[in-house]
Amino acid sequence: AQTVTQSQPEMSVQEAETVTLSCTYDTSESNYYLFWYKQPPSRQMILVIRQEAYKQQNATENRFSVNFQKAAKSFSLKISDSQLGDTAMYFCAFIRNFGNEKLTFGTGTRLTIIP
Amino acid sequence: DARVTQTPRHKVTEMGQEVTMRCQPILGHNTVFWYRQTMMQGLELLAYFRNRAPLDDSGMPKDRFSAEMPDATLATLKIQPSEPRDSAVYFCASGDRNSNQPQHFGDGTRLSIL
């Protein structure tokens, strides 16, 4: 069974600074997908970024980027130029295949951006 | 944009009452998932369906919870009788192998059992 661990329950950072959220996972699979989801107070689950395990290049979406270390089973999220709207819970998640499998989530990191 | 629709958004009821939560998956998606989110347990899978057939409901307390898909446009999650420990946010998500993300989430139902 897959497990996802987020060791930082809470983080805070000043607006415009850079912050990195950590995630580690455990799996015996060689092909899989990793995700970061954002959950603001509205409680929507918003996909921030995805990474395919077979891709060596780290995914980037505007101010969001990941550091994917497959051998170390590490998948951190970097948020650059943080904004007040980035305040939210962030969940790391794992799935083997799209379409018919559940997502395995970490316990989340509550990120607060300080004005 | 197509969305997963969940009703009600909020539900407050007394212990012992029946609760029904509904979900309309995105048209064409053939898998539907029910997740429960609590402070203590985080996000956990309760059950999921593919082509309306239940694939896994091992995360669901069978004595009081039931999940069904009467048709392709409706999934339901029922709790009878409800207990205070069932208080949580319940998310429905739908997925398709060809989608750009594994699952599309509804906005959740916040359930409070008094």
What are the pLDDT tens digits along chain B (114 aa)?
A: 789 999 999 999 999 999 999 999 999 998 999 999 998 888 999 999 999 999 888 889 889 999 999 999 999 999 999 999 999 999 999 988 877 788 999 999 999 999
In this prediction, residue A2 carries a pLDDT of 85
Tell me the pLDDT tens digit for each residue of A21-45: 999 999 999 999 999 999 999 999 9
Question: Which of B97, B100, B49 lies closest to B70 in space, CA to CA?
Answer: B49
In this prediction, residue B41 carries a pLDDT of 85
CA atoms within 13 A on the CB side of B16: 0
Substitution target from A50, A100, A109, A110 for chain B, most B beta carbons within 10 A: A100
- Is residue A8 predicted with pLDDT exceeding 70? yes
Please indicate whether, in this complex, the C-beta atoms of B33 and A102 are within 8 angstroms of each other. Answer: yes
Rg (CA), chain B: 13
The residues, ordered by sequence, that sit 6+ positions from A103 with a Cβ below 8 Å of its Cβ are A35, A93, A94, A95, B33, B43, B45, B93, B102, B103
Confidence of residue A69 (pLDDT cuts 50, 70, 90): very high
Please indicate whether, in this complex, the C-beta atoms of A47 and B101 are within 8 angstroms of each other. Answer: yes
Please indicate whether, in this complex, the C-beta atoms of A91 and B43 are within 8 angstroms of each other. Answer: yes
Q: Is A64 on the interface with B (CB under 8 A)?
A: no
Question: Which of A7, A2, A10, A1 lies closest to A76 in space, CA to CA?
Answer: A7
